[in-house]
Amino acid sequence: MGPRIIVALDFPRTKEAADFVRVLDPKLCRVKVGKELFTAAGPAFVESLAGQGFDVFLDLKFHDIPNTVARACRLAASLGVWMLNVHALGGRTMMLAARESLESIQGRRPLLVAVTVLTSMTGAEMAEVGLGDNVGAAVSRLAALTAQCGLAGVVCSAQEAAGLRAERGTEFLLVTPGIRLAGDGAQDQKRVTTPEQAIAWGASYLVIGRPVTRALDPNKVLIESARGIESAHGA
């Protein structure tokens, strides 16, 4: 499986991200490029990360009409990314189009996953936009739809991972943001947990941002986190 930690490169400027990446060991982690850094740095930076040996999760959460999303996924794949995502709320036709757009790629094909419910959202906020107030039920429903569309897995809170693992089996990928190390605050996310808890609950990959990017020794943090993950996985 390789490294299970995905470091979120949530930097507003290319130079900051590039300076940080220089100290990272690609054998210890994968990296995530989201909307902020992609807007600042563009596709060339994503290609450069792949060229440095990093597996890149391009986290742009495509959510548009099916043809637009399909073309966007195809272009994203051409950057050499390891994983990319769409938003499950785009529906069945959109997710099928996204998956089909990648099927003719020769060689290494990126993993395609779907976002369920953002980890910043609460039940009350979901109700405000007409999705009901039961986060767990919404995540379960969207994960089932994602599986039906043939995608590799979903992005979800680790707090939903145990239920989804039981529902969807061992092969379905669960990518969990909102990971905080012991002693860290939740910041702008509501549904957060530790790496050890996330793995114990069935997470496949853990997205960790500020606890790594703001560390004095990021590789040390990654090594220590990996040890905790191995211990939890073996428990």
Active-site residue list: 61
Contact 77, 117 (CB under 8 A): no
Q: What is the DSSP letter of 182?
A: T
Nearest to 78 by CA among 120, 38, 50, 119: 50
Query: Interhelix angle for 92-102 vs 66-77, to 10°?
Result: 30
Could you give the CA distance from residue 202 to residue 204 in angstroms, rounded to a whole number?
A: 6
Contact 3, 28 (CB under 8 A): yes
Contact 76, 50 (CB under 8 A): no
H or E segment to which residue 7 belongs:
strand 5-8
Contact 158, 135 (CB under 8 A): no
DSSP lists the bridge partners of residue 62 as 86
Contact 49, 20 (CB under 8 A): no
